[in-house]
Amino acid sequence: MSDGTGLKNRGHSHADVDERRAAVEQYAGVSLERIAKYCFKAEDAAHNVENMIGAVQIPLGYAGPIHIAGEYAEGDFLVPLATTEGALIASVSRGMSVITAAGGTRTKIFRDYMTRAPVFRVRDLAHTCQVLEWLDAHEDEVKAAANATTSHGKLCRIERFPTGRNLYLRFSFETGDAMGMNMATIASEAAGRYIEKETGAVMVSVSGNLCNDKKPAAINMIEGRGKTVVAEALIPAALVEQKLHTTAAAVVETNIRKNLIGSSLAGELGANAHAANMVAALYLATGQDPAQVVGGSLTLTDCEDVNGDLYISVRIPAVEVGTVGGGTGLPTQAEALSIIGCRGAGKARKFGEIVAATVLAGELSTLAAQAAGQLGKAHQELGRDKKCQ
């Protein structure tokens, strides 16, 4: 198979990449001198990209340390963040400093399932009922068909959503330390084919968009997808005033009027200041699927004035991450995971708690900056390209 340059999409050796890049340079009439410079073996990316011509670089910094008292993440962490947005890391670091001075953040994972939802075509309502009755009697067999495709995953729950001549089955999988989307897809196809064979329902698509993958959806906000994580901190009034230059009451009012009422007026799913900012930077640094940043946008940020102290929490219902598979094995991303002790097996839930702690810090700092009227000043000083002013 060839692409628009006429060059076959073959191989991932450096010679193949160089040849393909030269063809793109000729086709576009540009020089790709810097895209040609990268520090890993081309073969290492064979399962991550097609038509490889090089690599792009994103500046990488760190925020922290932040103290986390979680079920899986315990201790002080420097968190790697890849971003091109000036002021972001400084803001997150400020939030982490305040949270740590207040004793740290508590984190907890409440749910951990990756979902895939095939859609089946049925003949009519009577057929729908027949399929559902069969599924009630044979659910263990369907799960066995799915589980036979993987040694790491497990189909745990099947939710039923009939409508018209459609039947949606939302499968929830345990996926170990992988984010698990490919695992869930392969297993769902096997389960779906078994249901087809036994019931006559036709699987139109292995994904019927009720999963819901890489799109903002109320079902993910309510039921969760990947890891549902909550992080909290209590910031003493003195720290709020000395470090954040505001008060608990002012932050609470900002959160209510901005995140809760403003988000409702806009019809948002989620209610937060900029949770996707922290999620994106951390996902890019550590080799996660960047499209899963949409899960971060579903974050609910809550603030309360507790006798002058500031209680702040975030609930992130869809932290879709892994510490094995995907881009986590690429050399620089693997090193970034090593910074937080989350490289390899047995670390995915720890990583999920670190994601929530990082979002909490970013939310705290930005809400405080807005409550104090300092947001524009911070971006003026740290985030603007002087050449563009």
Q: What is the largest CA-CA distance in the chain?
A: 69
Answer whether the bond into residue 166 is a cis peptide, omega within 30°. no
Task: Identify whether 127 is a catalytic site residue.
Answer: no
Asked about 85 being catalytic, the answer comes back as: yes
pLDDT reported for residue 219: 97
pLDDT of 267 reads 96
Give the active site residue among 127, 138, 245, 379: 379
Tens of pLDDT, residue by residue over 71-85, are 999 999 999 999 999
Low-confidence ranges of the chain (pLDDT < 70): 1-11, 375-389
Domain ranges of the chain: 8-57, 60-111+227-388, 118-205
SS (H, E, C) the chain: CECCCCCECCCCCHHHHHHHHHHHHHHHCCCCCCCCCCCCCHHHHCCCCCCCCCCCCCCEEEEEEEEEEECCCEEEEEEEEECCCCCHHHHHHHHHHHHHHCCCEEEEEEEEEEEECCEEECCCHHHHHHHHHHHHHHHHHHHHHHHCCCCCCEEEEEEEEEECCEEEEEEEEECCCECCHHHHHHHHHHHHHHHHHHHCCEEEECCCCCCCCCCCCHHHHHHCCEEEEEEEEEECHHHHHHHHCCCHHHHHHHHHHHHHHHHHHHCCCCECCCHHHHHHHHHHHHCCCHHHHHHHCCCEEEEEEECCEEEEEEEEEEECCCCECHHHHCHHHHHHHHHCCCCCCCCHHHHHHHHHHHHHHHHHHHHHHHHCCCHHHHHHHHCCCHHHC
State residue 4's pLDDT score: 52
pLDDT at position 374 is 74
Looking at residue 379, its pLDDT comes to 53
> Per-residue pLDDT tens for 151-186?
989 999 999 999 999 999 999 999 999 999 999 999
Quote the CA–CA distance of 316 and 311 in Å, as a whole number: 17
At 8 the pLDDT is 52
* CATH among 3.40.50.300, 3.30.70.420, 3.40.50.920, 3.40.50.620 for 118-205: 3.30.70.420
Spot the catalytic one: 3, 289, 304, 335. Answer: 289
In this prediction, residue 10 carries a pLDDT of 53
Domain 60-111+227-388 has CATH 3.90.770.10: yes
Among 18, 74, 85, 305, the one annotated catalytic? 85
- Say whether 136 is catalytic: no
